[in-house]
Amino acid sequence: MRKAGIALSAFALAMTLSACGDDGGSANNSGGNGNGGGSVAAASLADLAKSIGEQTSETNSAHMTITADAAGQQLSGEGDLSMAADKAAMSMDMTTPEGTMSMVLLDNVFYLKLPQELEPGKAWVKIDTKDDNPIAKALGGLTEQMSKNADPRATLEQFEKSGEITDTKEEELDGVQTTHYTVTVDVEKLAANQEDPTMKSAMDQAIQGGLKDFPVDVWINEDDLPVRFVMDMPTPNPATGKSESVKMQIDYTDWGKPVDITAPPAAEIAELPAG
């Protein structure tokens, strides 16, 4: 479970990023950018959060492709995201140096399929924030963070208080016309406004290590839908209690396409070790 912690941390960051971008919507904006329609570039993070967040109720599913460098471990994966009301559901298959991992977030419970079975025929573990198991508690905080960040506006509001848009330009990305925003996030401000103790601890450790800020890049298409997020920030490794650098890129496709996310069979879920 120790090495799975970094993968879970990376996945937690992926969820945070996807929440930032999970605006899901077939927006019909009346504005234009001078290029034949589309959205007007946001002047502030508040505007960006609003333009993205307003679409959540319109279209709330997407396919994601993720690549990450988590504390020197190369991770990649693909999965689906579904947003409905105040609940997020997510499924992901990830390739790690330890092997393939599968992950499901459903009804605020996180399921993790490890490369090796903990019990014969049982490769899945269930991480519930209500569980008293020490490992579940350690990893449960990240699960709760993922669920809490389901609302894209709530996620961007964290950056509203700690960052600002420092560059905006029109770019073509994989044949799609986008607006590329670069946001610079002040780590001290982010830590001061961070409610989750695990994430706050990671921010504090990064500050002690000399990190002052970090960039977040997001590409938004003409329908106010995210096409790509790139971010490099300190993220807690629950296995060590230390802050690790996680660089993540998420590409979004198939906005609005129905997805089916289900929990693994109970017979394939092993009991978490005591510690």
pLDDT of residue 37: 40
Find the CATH number of the domain harbouring 128: 2.50.20.20
Give the model confidence (pLDDT) of 56-110 as tens digits: 456 678 888 988 887 677 888 898 988 765 567 888 898 877 788 888 888 878 8
Residue 274 lies in a domain: no
HSE-CB at 155 with a 13 A cutoff on CA atoms is 24
Give the separation between CA 243 and CA 66, rounded to whole angstroms. 21
User: What is the layout of strands, in order, in the sheet containing 176-186?
Assistant: 163-173, 176-186, 213-221, 226-237, 242-253, 61-70, 73-84, 87-96, 99-106, 109-113, 124-128, 269-270
Residue 153 lies in a domain: yes
Number of domains making up the chain: 1
**pLDDT block averages, 10 residues each, the chain of length 275:** 51 47 34 43 77 64 85 83 73 84 85 85 83 65 56 62 89 92 87 75 77 85 85 65 73 88 92 67
* Residue 162 belongs to a domain: yes
C-alpha triplet 197, 7, 157: angle, nearest 5°: 45
- The percentage of residues in the chain with a pLDDT greater than 90, rounded to a whole number, is 10
CA distance 230 to 18: 11
Q: What is the CA radius of gyration of the chain?
A: 18
For residue 66, what are the β-bridge partners?
77, 250
Strand bridging mode 269-270 / 124-128: parallel
pLDDT of amino acid 266:
92
Cβ–Cβ contacts within 10 Å for residue 14, how many? 28
The pLDDT of residue 137? 64
Q: What pLDDT score does 136 carry?
A: 65
With CA atoms as reference, report the closest residue to 139 among 264, 30, 240, 22: 240
What is the per-residue pLDDT for 124? Answer: 92
Q: Which domain holds residue 81?
A: 2-268
Contact 109, 127 (CB under 8 A): yes
Whether residue 163 contacts residue 193, with contact meaning beta carbons closer than 8 Å, is answered with no
Residue 273 forms part of a structural domain? no
Indicate the pTM of the whole model.
0.76
